[in-house]
A = this chain, B = another copy of it.
Amino acid sequence: MTETFSFTLNATDGAARTGVIHTPRGDIRTPAFMPVGTAATVKAMMPDSVAATGADILLGNTYHLMLRPTAERIAHLGGLHRFMNWNKPILTDSGGFQVMSLSDLRKMSEEGVTFASHVDGSRHFLSPERSMEIQRLLGSDIVMAFDECPALPATDEAVARSMRMSMRWAQRSRDAFGDRPGHALFGIMQGGTNRELREESAEALRQIGFDGYAVGGLAVGEGQELMFSTLDYAPGFLPEDKPRYLMGVGKPDDIVGAVERGIDMMDCVLPSRSGRTGQAWTRRGQVNIKNARHMDDPRPLDEHCSCPACRNYSRAYLHHVFKAQEILSAMLLTWHNLHYYQELMQGLRDAIAAGRLNEFVAQFHALRAEGDIEPL
């Protein structure tokens, strides 16, 4: 344990990196995948089960928490860690992205954004200063600067205008965050898929100075090819000695490609959301457990997986509880998916440390290409 926030880079393999982020609440092994605990819970999971999958850090959503139960209430109750019974690090987003995707009646200005809650229609305001205040009230270990994330495709002009406002907001976030030892503030690079704009954004952030840097504005509909071609250069614009976080990514192959391109941290609702819709992620790709082919199958989802769903249950059982709309279906498949994601991250970390990432990635794609085991 440490009293300050720091990042140690242990090894690189090509552009890929492995290391450790040290925080007063514990270490985060990188590349790291952060499960999403939107409303102060990783859906369908006990916190100790989330930790058992190997997660070192969770993501919390400022937008959801500010609306319900409110940041002030969580602060009054001792902060988000205590509230949700998760004592390891928490990263919170700034709220900006979800205001854009979830709220109604948005009105944006240089000052910030007013909007109506999707829960009860109540009016709220978010700005760099208010976002910093909310994230402080939550007790977040890694705070994200408040930014605007334009949907793609968009014109270069629109992306540039939005990015430059986000950079002004980044400075205001930095000023409002102040000096909080043991807590980190991450800046967010914007610029869409335009290399010059990405470089301009990165330079603006470096001038301000952050504890880590996110690549924002990707995974918003541009497709994997365009995301990867942007990641071919964008992380390189950021300081080497700070963690690099790709927000909202992704599917397993997105994650592998991002790590290959120098990303250290990622988050996504996909493994937990998939778990609630009968979708399992395995080394052999995606398995739709509601498919009738599993109805009589006594085999586990993945015979090499050590999660409770694979260790203790047949595909036939997982099929049954999904069809019967049992809560246990979401519990088991979410656990499996988070376990698989964390196992993938461990594999990536080990491969980078051993200098054999190419081999690992080739195996990863080869096994997926084989597809699911044959029906009985």
A77 lies within 8 A of B317 (CB) = yes
Looking at A41-49, A167-175, A217-225, the stretch in contact with chain B turns out to be A41-49
The answer to whether residues A296 and B39 also contact, given A44-B328, A83-B317, A327-B44 and a CB cut-off of 8 A, is no
Q: Within the complex, what minimum Cβ distance (angstroms) separates A364 from chain B? A: 30
CA distance A326 to B334 in the complex (A): 14
The answer, yes or no, to whether A321 is at the interface (CB within 8 Å) is yes
Looking at the complex, which one of B43, B296, B312 makes contact with A326 (CB distance below 8 Å)?
Answer: B43
CB distance from A115 to the nearest CB of B (A): 19
Comparing A68-76, A129-137, A187-195, the segment that makes contact with chain B is: A68-76
- Binary flags per residue of A61-98, CB closer than 8 Å to B gives 1, else 0: 00000001100010011100001110000000000000
Most chain B CB within a 10 A radius of its CB, from A84, A316, A328: A328
Query: Is A1 part of the contact surface with B, judged by Cβ < 8 Å?
Result: no
Of all chain B residues, the one with the shortest Cβ separation from A65 is B320
Among A298-316, those with CB < 8 Å from B are 298, 308, 312-314, 316
With CB as the reference atom, state the residue of chain B lying closest to A48: B308
What are the residues of chain B within 8 A of A326 when measuring CB–CB?
Answer: 39, 41, 43
In the bound complex, do residue A331 and residue B327 qualify as a contact, i.e. CB atoms below 8 Å apart? Answer: yes
Say yes or no for A362: interface residue by CB 8 A criterion. Answer: no
Q: How far apart are the CA atoms of A78 and B46 in the complex, in Å?
A: 29
Contacts of A76 in B (CB 8 A): 296
Q: In the docked arrangement, what's the CA distance between A316 and B257, Å?
A: 41
Looking at A44, A296, A313, A320, the one whose CB has the most chain B CB atoms below 10 A away is A320
Q: State how many angstroms separate the Cβ of A318 from the closest Cβ of chain B.
A: 11
Q: A321-B41, A331-B327 in contact; A314/B77 too (CB < 8 A)? A: yes
Question: What is the count of identical protomers in the complex?
Answer: 2
Instruction: Say yes or no: is A99 at the interface (Cβ < 8 Å to chain B).
Output: no
| CA of A47 to CA of B328, assembled, Å | 10
The minimal Cβ–Cβ distance linking A44 to chain B, given in whole angstroms, is 4
Given contacts A68-B324, A324-B68, contact A316 B39 (CB under 8 A): no
8 Å CB interface, A265-301 against B: 276, 295-296, 298
| Smallest CB separation, A183 vs chain B (Å) | 23
Contact A316 B43 (CB under 8 A): no
One of B78, B85, B321, B327 near A40 (C-beta < 8 A): B321
Docked complex Cα distance between A320 and B330 (Å): 20
Decide yes or no whether A323 CB sits under 8 A from chain B.
yes
Chain B residue nearest to A316 (CB atoms) is B77
List residues of chain A with CB under 8 Å of any chain B CB: 39-41, 43-47, 68-69, 73, 76-78, 83-85, 276, 295-296, 298, 308, 312-314, 316-317, 319-321, 323-324, 326-328, 330-331
Q: Which 3 A-B pairs have the closest CB atoms?
A: A44-B327, A85-B312, A41-B328
